[in-house]
Amino acid sequence: MLAIALVLEGRSRAEAAESCGMDRQTLCDWVHRYNAEGLAGLADRRGAVGVKPRLTPEQEAQVDAWVESGPDPALHGGLVRWRRVDLRDLIAHEFGVGLHERSVGKLLRRLDFRRLSVRPQHPESDPAAQEAFKKTEIVRNFVWDGVGQVMANRSWKRMANCALAALHSLCGIFQSLDAR
């Protein structure tokens, strides 16, 4: 802004650019934009960086609806779940836009879809035992080995017993050190 003010006061563009520590060509560009549009012409003009999306927002909304509802096996050749290659082919057929599988994956990420993996479950698994297991925590118990080394011994402890187990471990260490 100071360089523009100096030019408006009558200094040459080269002098104004040098006194403000900027390139003369940059100042010339700024002056032309100021003359054409006023102060609004000096606003930052950087737009979105990168390649423009190949699908319109309406088309992306349609893809979102397809993925959300899942494939219809009768219409899509027996598909029971969407793969990127299937969506790529459907997008090419419906919109006439060719995308790479990776681009379809990026589109799905942008639409907040994540690939889910089915986790195997044993037929005889016990949900109550699994919940109890989730409430356990690894606690390090320190054990005196009798030679002068303190070794870490990992064991599984229930959350309620963690503080007690840690206290017993520390007492064991101090008792071993006192015995020396």
With contact defined as beta carbons under 8 Å apart, do 154 and 138 qualify? yes
Per-residue model confidence (pLDDT) at position 163: 53
pTM: 0.45
Domain segments of the chain: what residues? 2-42, 57-110, 130-179
pLDDT tens, position by position, 40-82: 888 877 766 777 889 999 999 999 999 998 888 888 888 888 9
Residue ranges of the chain with pLDDT lower than 50? Answer: 151-162, 173-174, 176-178
Per-residue model confidence (pLDDT) at position 153: 45
Per-residue model confidence (pLDDT) at position 155: 39
Per-residue model confidence (pLDDT) at position 131: 87
Per-residue model confidence (pLDDT) at position 157: 38
